[in-house]
Every structure is written in structure tokens, then in C-alpha cells.
Amino acid sequence: MRIGELAAQAGTTTRTLRYYESRGLLPARRNGNGYRAYDEADLRLLRQIRTLQDFGFDLEQTRPFVECLQAGHPEGDSCPASLDVYRGRLAELDECLARLHEVRDRVAAQLARAELRVEAEHPGGPEPHCELSTNHAKTKES
């Protein structure tokens, strides 16, 4: 298949395919008339790259998976280098989640402190209204 067909089937652009080619991720084969020629294996390779990018992998992190496919493995993640990339990405995600949990805990603590202050300042009364509040503004207009 030609580059336009491959791009359409892979859900990407010809420009992206040329970029992958320049980075050595997509083989640059030419047929007799000089057009780039691709096959189903190239489509599978592109789908692997797209899936990994959807998971947040950068383009360079996809290289071991591409090389694994090109080496003839039916799945791009069955090689040791691919597994190492998975492990590294999982460690990055775990670290990110830990940071998010820490921030969430700090925001929750700040909210609790703010609610205590509001209750102390207005015991049993209604919550204070902001002048910019849409409900308050509608009340003033009525």
C-alpha cells in the first residue's frame, strides 16, 4: 500500500509517517516507481506506536516495541527491552499518582480548615455569599 492508504488506515497523517521514517521507526521501502511501499506489518507497527502514545509513552519509548515487532515477534511487548520500558513507565505513573494523592490530601486539609473558619465566623448561619455569585446576582436583580 502507498503512504496515503497507510496513513488513512492507521488514523494518522502522511507527514507523521514521514517523521516516523526519519526517526527510524518506520522502514522506508520503495517500489519500482519510487513510491513508498508499506504492508500489513507496517500497519501493525503503527498501531502499536499509537497505542503506546495513547498510554503516554513518548515516541522514543516506543522504539523497543517497534524493534521487537520488526524482529519477528508477534507482539511488540514480548522482548526484554519492551518490558523494561513498561516497568519504567509504570514507575513514573506510580510516582505521579503518589504526588497527586499528596496534593489531594493537602487540598482536603485546607478545605477542612476553611470550613471550620466559616463555621466559627458564622455559627449555624447561612454561608456567606460572594458578590460575584450567580445566585446572589440574580437575587439583587429581582
In the predicted model, what is the mean pLDDT of residues 121-136? Answer: 68
Per-residue confidence (pLDDT) for residue 121, from 0 to 100: 87
In a domain, 141, yes or no: no
More confident residue, 125 or 100: 100
What was the pLDDT predicted at 133? 63
Instruction: Provide the domain limits for residue 105.
Output: 3-121
Alpha-carbon span 75 to 44, nearest angstrom: 9
Integer CA distances (angstroms), 44 to 39, 50, 56, 96, in order: 9, 10, 19, 30
Residue 124: the pLDDT is 73
Is there a domain that residue 137 lies in? no
Is residue 19, in this structure, part of any structural domain at all? Answer: yes
In a domain, 12, yes or no: yes
Domain with 11 in it: what CATH number?
1.10.1660.10
> Structure pTM?
0.71
Query: What does the pLDDT look like over 43-73, one tens digit per residue?
Result: 999 999 999 999 999 999 999 999 999 999 9
130 belongs to a structural domain = no
